[in-house]
């Protein structure tokens, strides 16, 4: 899912250890993110995207466009929650239906929508992929709703 982590790291000619240090995580954790053994947290994904000026959509492979992003973004659970709710309502889903779609509980969806918890990266990615919504939009890094792909 995150095969472009390695591509971006190699473009900057950095080792896994150097990127891990930038993200303030262990080298083994970063290695697991890069190999797909672990799913990177939204916080670390956001930090990576901020540092290397790339979109979450590019890193996750939702788009093949590597557009430079110079602005630094901070994850805001309230913004994410409002956008999850907006997408859910646009798709005409109840919290329970979205929960079933993501294989989680309705109480988790409620906590995400109320900004009490930050959505798990896997759930955010699945929402983006399944509803053709930009992951960057979902987490407040962009105001462009749809995923943009090269033709």
Domain extents in the chain: 4-59, 77-138
Instruction: Assign 117 to helix, strand or coil.
Output: coil
Query: In angstroms, rounded to a whole number, what is the distance separating the alpha carbons of residues 4 and 58?
Result: 7
Query: In angstroms, rounded to a whole number, what is the distance separating the alpha carbons of residues 11 and 66?
Result: 12
pLDDT of 150: 58
pLDDT of 3: 78
Q: Which of 1-10, 93-102, 116-125 has the lowest mean pLDDT?
A: 1-10
pLDDT of 82: 98
Residue-wise pLDDT tens digits, 2-42:
779 999 999 999 999 999 999 999 999 999 999 999 999 99
102-115 in b/e form (b: 16+ CB < 10 A) is bebeeebbbbbbee
Nearest-CA neighbor of 59 among 50, 49, 51? 49
CATH number of 4-59: 1.10.260.40
The answer regarding whether domain 77-138 maps to CATH 1.10.260.40 reads yes
| Banded pLDDT at 68 (limits 50, 70, 90) | confident
At CA 43, angle to CA 40 and CA 49, rounded to 5?
80
| Banded pLDDT at 91 (limits 50, 70, 90) | very high
| Banded pLDDT at 147 (limits 50, 70, 90) | confident
Q: Is 85 left (phi over 0), alpha (psi -120 to 50) or beta?
A: alpha
pLDDT of 67: 84
For the segment 65-94, the average pLDDT, to the nearest whole number, is 95
């Amino acid at each position: 899912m995150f095969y472009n982590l390695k591509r971006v790291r190699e473009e900057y000619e950095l080792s896994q250890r150097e990127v891990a240090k930038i993200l303030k995580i262990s080298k083994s954790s970063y290695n697991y993110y890069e190999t797909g053994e672990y799913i990177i947290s939204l916080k670390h994904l956001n930090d990576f995207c901020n540092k290397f000026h790339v979109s979450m959509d590019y890193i996750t492979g939702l788009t093949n466009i590597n557009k430079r992003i110079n602005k630094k973004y901070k994850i805001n659970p309230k913004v994410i929650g409002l956008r999850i709710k907006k997408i859910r309502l646009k798709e005409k889903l109840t919290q329970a239906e979205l929960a079933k779609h993501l294989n989680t509980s309705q109480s988790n969806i409620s906590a995400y929508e109320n900004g009490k918890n930050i959505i798990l990266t896997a759930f955010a990615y699945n929402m983006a992929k399944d509803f053709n919504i930009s992951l960057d939009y979902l987490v407040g890094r962009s105001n462009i709703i749809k995923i943009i792909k090269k033709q």
